[in-house]
A and B are shown apart, each in its own frame.
Chain A
Amino acid sequence: MDVTLGRWVSREGPLRHLDPALIVTAVCLSLFGLFMVYSATQQGLRTLGEDPGFYLKKQIAFLMLGVILMVITATFDYRLVKVYAGIAFGLLLFALLLVLTPIGDETAGAQRWITLFGFQFQPSELAKLTVVAALAAYLSELREVRLEHVWRAAGIAAAPMALIFLQPDVGTMMVFAAVLIALLVVAGAKGRHILILLGVAVFGAIIAFHLGIVKDYQIARLRSFLDPAADPLRAGYNLQQAQIAIGSGGMFGRGFLNGSQTNLDFVPEQHTDFVFTVVGEELGFIGAILLLGLFAILLWRGLRTALMSRDSFGTLMAAGIVTMIAFQVIVNVGMTMGIMPVTGIPLPLVSYGGTAMLTNWVAVGLLMNVHMRRFK
């Protein structure tokens, strides 16, 4: 037997410590998503005389690519991530700057995309993982987290947050804020230091608005995201339709492909940000609970990995990924039910979208990596 392979399958070797539950859960969520994306898009595509499986097929392709990326990510030792986190962070800032230049593509008033080799991708999606890695790398080096470290960690998160704010993509920005707070807590920052950070952030935001450092149009954009009343006809109406869709599903739902709200196209962005309304309408309370249950399992496996990690970098990275996914699920699902502000956050692994799918599968790969290599 080859020496290298022997090391992989030895008692404490990585291959002996895969986390099948994690993989199965992630695959189940993605398959769930495929059905929902198909249901959300098939009727509209049919009406236009297009292939009803158009989005489904693209999503399947991204899913397969994502699984491959997950396997690759799990192959090398995650500690390499710590080594390259700085470089990746630098590249990310560059990409986020590019998005804001004319190279970036603008859709619906927001510049979020870069086209590379014929493929559009969204650097802000990749940014989530990169910031998790960078924060984990920084915080894992500290013996004790003092106030100055809190500021530095905040600084790391603030740079990409600022660039993403300019796109503008407030939802993603809030993901960073959540990850920052969560990692500071897990790394052991004192509660009062975190409160000081929050206070300064709020105070800074108020000052920025009042001094006009933030441009009027940015305020307007921000407001339209935070306050649906800024666009009363559309946003408020959409939210109402989303709730009607979910509510009308009842306990058992109206059946796959049978939702009237879904088929008649009442809910906007239904295959992306509002995909949960399809689950609610067609699969009912049972289906929605099943979906949330799958997420709960995924998060539980992630937290478990964080606790079992052999080093604090692994712990922090796993905790960051869990926070990233959890925050997106909570905000996304909450938004469709009217208990969270409407921001452009997709439902991880379920919503249609290539970059997000790939990012989330890399995240799963990183969790797996930490889990596999929990022994020295």
Chain B
Amino acid sequence: MTDARMGRRMTALAAAIAFAFAALVTRLWFLQVLAAEEYRERAAGNSVRLIPIPAARGRILDRNGEPLVDNRRTVVITIDRNEVRDEAVLLDQLAELLDTTTINLEERLNDPDFLRFQPVPVYEGAPEPVAIYLKEHADEFPGVDFDEVGVRRYVQGALAPHVLGYLGEISPEELLDPSFTHVRPGQLVGRGGVEQQYERFLRGRDGLQKQEVNAQGEVQGNLGREEPAPGDDLVLSIDADIQDLAQDTLETAVTQARASVFDEETASYVKATAGAVVVMDPDDGHVLAMASYPTYDPRVFLGGFTQREFDALKRPSANFPLSNRAIAGQYPAGSAFKPFVAAAAIRAGYARPEGFYPCPAEFIVPGDESGTVFHNWEDVDRGGISFSEALIRSCDTVFYNWGLKFWTERGARGDFFQHHIRRWGFGDLSGIDIPGETEGRVPDARWKQDVNAAYPNLFPEPTWLPGDNINMSIGQGDLLVTPLQMAVAYSALANGGTLYRPQIALRVQRPDGTQVRRFEGERIGRVPATRAALTAISNALRGVVSSPAGTATTAFAGFPLTSYPVAAKTGTAEVHGKQPHSWFAAFAPANDPEFVVVAVVEEGGHGSQVAAPIVRRVLEGLLDLEPGAFQISSESED
């Protein structure tokens, strides 16, 4: 069928197609050759705006999976300055609606971190009805909008705020830090506590909404979305119940002490200004509870928080509630330090567990004509007492004698005493996994010389004198320790000599519970003491709460010591110009220690009076005992 007519019709078809193709090429020529320049400009004008979708921050759980911190949604009011007609009127209206001040809103609105065309968040946590009202009366509030964002929710209220930390806006310096690469200005990052330490796990990865915008910044369309990856959950070694008990007991003790513990020296009730409690597992260094008083409610850092409120927390009259005294408070240790001095004396060969030592009421450095007298805490000559009794009675003069020997043998042994004490973890950071720790101080001749050179008025004496070692032998002088260092050292005493790095995080897990990372207790060394020496000291410390001569026997009256033996030591740390700090450190059960509990109350009187009852109550909680009536003791034993 290839006749001529068919050929003509095929030609017609071909012509039609050719005509259409010619039209296409013409149009193509117009677009790509004649108008190319214009279209290229329009392509360049097309730009993409990336709107971050914040990732949900990981939760913080206690060791039993009890949530301590999670997230909730809150309404944030934003203002777009480009759309505002009369700023003053608008802010007044808003302030009234939100029950805040115009100045607060103005301060937030003029935050220089936000660019002119960005909506500025001015108020967090607006109540739902206000949001609805704003929506319904949108035309009366030009430029005002609201946004729902996730904020921290402190499930257990003001529990362990010093351990948890809080969130704060990232600082300009941090923005330059490579570890904050993915954080944008204005975003919140962890401040203090585990929130800061474990930021990289908790943070998650923000998602992105890709929008196409024209030159005017108007949204032209959505170009895709990258979902955010939520942060991982952090499980702490903290036990919420024990933490609660520790905090509660500390606060109760402080309050009661102010009304019932009398300090003869100052002829007034004790001020009991502050305190700290640390509970640790001696077998792995995990911290079960960490309390610091005065404390604060972490909720103050949520929405609507202003500089003024923050300053209020920092005012000296508030006695620094943000400070975590458990890791940053530095105090002389007092007699609670004696077990480590005893260990040093055994190591040096000055003491033997089976030895007997004179315990006079006074001690004078032989050959010293200056008239300096070092007193025992009680005004009685006890005669020769055993090594154990020296600890049980906390006889200062026994320790003075050893302290002096460390001084007289300095020529041969150097700073043996200081080196020994440092190996228990004193004078150095423990390495706990929260920021803000202080080192404390184990003073030596070198230190004394340096401070004298630096501050000759404050420290006029440049020479390391016998009295310096004598004072340190009872945990006084220029020695400073933190409650955490004490807990670490007592843990080593309790566990047979292993020094652990204290640890607050147990593990990191995905929101669905699968484990990402586990933190094992880290051994950082062995203390320089034989097992026999440690056992002798531990056994002596059992007498502190049980022997008739024990300094804390009264404080532990009625405690079931036969089923749960306790080893402990009191401490009354003298500070010039202040009432003494009350110390108590204990571990239990003494035959197989599971818990170390350390308490200190600043200007709280004697160790047995305030700190010992706190530790007793916490131990009752740890051992699941029926708590006895909490009783501040007015007995003023060391």
CB pair A264–B36 under 8 Å, yes or no, is no
Contacts of A48 in B (CB 8 A): 224, 226
The tally of CB-CB contacts under 8 A between chains A and B is 131
Asked whether any CB of chain A lies closer than 8 Å to the CB of B42, the reply is yes
In the bound complex, do residue B32 and residue A185 qualify as a contact, i.e. CB atoms below 8 Å apart?
no
Given known A-B contacts A280-B31, A299-B17, A337-B27, A251 and B10 have beta carbons under 8 A apart:
no
- When the two chains form their complex, are residues B25 and A289 in contact, meaning their CB atoms are under 8 A apart? yes
Stretch at the interface among A8-16, A122-130, A237-245: A237-245
Q: How far is the CA of A264 from the CA of B24 in the complex (A)?
A: 26
**Nearest-CB residue, chain A, relative to B45:** A244
Chain B nearest CB from A306 CB (Å) reads 6
In the complex, what residue of chain B is closest to A252 when comparing beta carbons? B32
Which residue in chain A gives the minimum CB-CB distance to B43? A248
| Interchain CB contact under 8 A, B10 and A319 | yes
- Checking A247, A309, A312 against B31 with a beta-carbon cut-off of 8 angstroms, the contacting residue is A247
A contacts with B, residue count (CB < 8 A): 52
A237 to B211, CA, bound (A): 14
- Asked whether any CB of chain B lies closer than 8 Å to the CB of A186, the reply is yes
Contacts A243-B31, A288-B28, A333-B24 given; does A250 touch B13 at CB 8 Å: no
What mask results when residues 211 to 235 of chain B are scored 1 for a CB within 8 Å of chain A, else 0?
A: 0100000001101101000000000
CB of B563 within 8 Å of the partner chain? no
Contacts of B28 in A (CB 8 A): 246, 280, 285, 288-289, 292, 337
Which of B1, B10, B20, B21 is in CB contact (< 8 Å) with A303? B10
- Give chain A residues whose Cβ lies under 8 Å from the Cβ of B23: 334, 339
Q: How far is the CB of A313 from chain B (nearest CB, A)?
A: 9
B44 CB to nearest A CB, Å: 8
Question: Among A311, A315, A326, which residue has its beta carbon within 8 angstroms of that of B20?
Answer: A326
The reply to whether A182 and B33 contact each other, CB–CB distance below 8 Å, is no
**Which residue of A has the minimal Cβ distance to B7?**
A307
Residue A228 CB within 8 A of the other chain: no
A309 x B14 contact (CB < 8 A): no
On whether the beta carbons of B223 and A265 are closer than 8 Å, the reply is: yes
Taking CB atoms, residues of chain B closer than 8 Å to A285 are: 28-29, 32-33
| Minimal Cβ-Cβ distance residue in B for A337 | B27
Contacts of B1 in A (CB 8 A): 309, 311-312, 315
Which residue on chain A has the smallest CB distance to residue B5? A188
Say yes or no for B520: interface residue by CB 8 A criterion: no
Does A138 have its Cβ within 8 Å of any Cβ on chain B?
A: no
Interface string of A329-364 (1 = CB under 8 A from B): 010011001110000000000000000000000000
- A319–B16 Cα distance when bound, in Å, is 13
Question: Of residues 1 to 51 in B, which have CB atoms within 8 Å of A's CB atoms?
Answer: 1-2, 5-7, 9-10, 12-14, 17, 20-21, 23-25, 27-29, 31-33, 35-36, 38-40, 42-44, 46, 48
- A74 to B25 Cα, complex, angstroms: 33
**Complex: A84 Cα to B46 Cα, angstroms:** 54
Residue of B nearest to A260 (CB): B43
A30, CB-defined interface residue at 8 Å: no
A334 touches B24 (CB 8 A): yes
Q: A247-B35, A285-B29, A309-B1 are in contact. Are A182 and B21 (CB under 8 A)?
A: no
Partner of A248, one of B12, B42, B221: B42
For residue A308, CB closer than 8 A to chain B, the reply is yes
- Select B24's contact among A241, A251, A307, A330, beta carbons within 8 Å: A330
20 contacts between A and B (CB under 8 A): A47-B226, A48-B226, A185-B13, A186-B10, A234-B221, A244-B42, A246-B31, A247-B38, A247-B40, A248-B40, A260-B44, A266-B223, A289-B28, A307-B2, A307-B7, A309-B1, A312-B6, A323-B13, A326-B20, A334-B27
Identify the B interface with A (CB < 8 A).
1-2, 5-7, 9-10, 12-14, 17, 20-21, 23-25, 27-29, 31-33, 35-36, 38-40, 42-44, 46, 48, 210, 212, 220-221, 223-224, 226
- With A185-B12, A248-B39 known, 8 other A-B pairs at CB within 8 A are A245-B43, A260-B46, A265-B223, A292-B25, A330-B17, A334-B23, A337-B31, A338-B27
Pairs A-B, 6 closest by C-beta atoms: A247-B39, A312-B1, A248-B43, A250-B36, A285-B32, A247-B31
